[in-house]
Homo-oligomer: A and B are copies of this chain.
Amino acid sequence: MLELRLVQGSLLKKVLEAIKELVTDANFDCSATGFSLQAMDSSHVALVALLLRSEGFEHYRCDRNLSMGMNLNNVSKMLKCAGNDDIITLKADDGSDTITFMFESPNQDKIADFEMKLMDIDSEHLGIPEAEYHAIVKMPSTEFARICKDLSSIGDTVVISVTKEGVKFSTRGDIGTANIVCRQNTTVDKPEEATIIEMQEPVSLTFALRYMNSFTKATPLSSTVTISLSSELPVVVEYKIADMGYIRYYLAPKIEDDEDMKPE
């Protein structure tokens, strides 16, 4: 028996918007710890990891570990039927091959339940080792999204270079080149507007902007984003989900770090 009640239902709606562009089918894993997902994108290049801790739910009951395969587009369709301030409850009976989404309007006038068939999905749950990162950049999530969007109108890849002074996003394309430098800045009105750089050593890595732009679909979940970089390691782009957990995206750097090595 599974029963998860989430008062802030809009959060689950945003989570699905943040994942579904990247992943079509995935297993949601439910345990006493929380509600989580780990999946590769359809081209097996990027990885997304979601955690919603049990403490973040108003009510959390999970009698035994469950792995529930779902088509994320279908989940998203169901969740679009929930109002932004609806309370969402997920229910599944043990051994059932369906999951039920229940939506309660704030004034309890409307109660909807949507039942969806589960599917069998080969899960390839990778252990993600905790790593030490050469540089960790924390910045406003909207600013990061804007930069990725802007750069993708010039080129296909972004070089992210971190020094003590700031973080530089660069690209190069047919029509020219672009460099955007964000300086470390902690003297802001609100903490979520700060750009903070924790750096052990300088790092410069290249990534496909296409994936970065998919990651920024999580922007509505958090006002800040954390980008963790190490040579030879996948970058981690993390959006914290208040009081509940996080959504993390992993993407391996392109080998051809050197701009001059670009073909064409």
Contacts and interface: CB of A to CB of B under 8 A. Distances in A.
Interface in A224-251: none
B77 A153 contact: yes
Say whether chain A's binding surface is mostly helix, strand, loop, or mixed: strand
A110 B175 contact: no
A108 B195 CA distance: 12
Contacts of A183: 108-111
A71 B175 contact: yes
Given A77-B153, A81-B150, A109 B195 contact: yes
A115 interface: yes
Interface string A150-181: 11011000000000000000000001111111
A74 B176 contact: yes
Nearest to A74: B175
A78 interface: yes
Chain A interface size, under 10 / 10 to 19 / 20 to 34 / 35 or more? 20 to 34
A78 B154 contact: yes
Nearest to A171: B114
A109 B182 contact: yes
Nearest to A182: B110
A72 B179 CA distance: 20
Nearest to A82: B150
B80 A110 contact: no
A199 interface: no
A179 B113 contact: yes
A143 interface: yes
A26 to B, nearest CB: 15
Nearest to A143: B110
Most B-side CB within 10 Å, residue of A109, A143, A178, A179: A109
Contacts of A154: 77-78, 81, 114
25 contacts: A74-B175, A77-B153, A77-B154, A77-B175, A78-B178, A80-B150, A80-B153, A81-B153, A98-B176, A108-B183, A109-B182, A110-B180, A110-B181, A110-B182, A110-B183, A111-B181, A111-B183, A112-B180, A113-B178, A113-B179, A114-B176, A114-B177, A114-B178, A115-B176, A116-B175
Interface of A: 71, 74, 77-78, 80-81, 98, 107-117, 143, 150-151, 153-154, 175-183, 185, 195
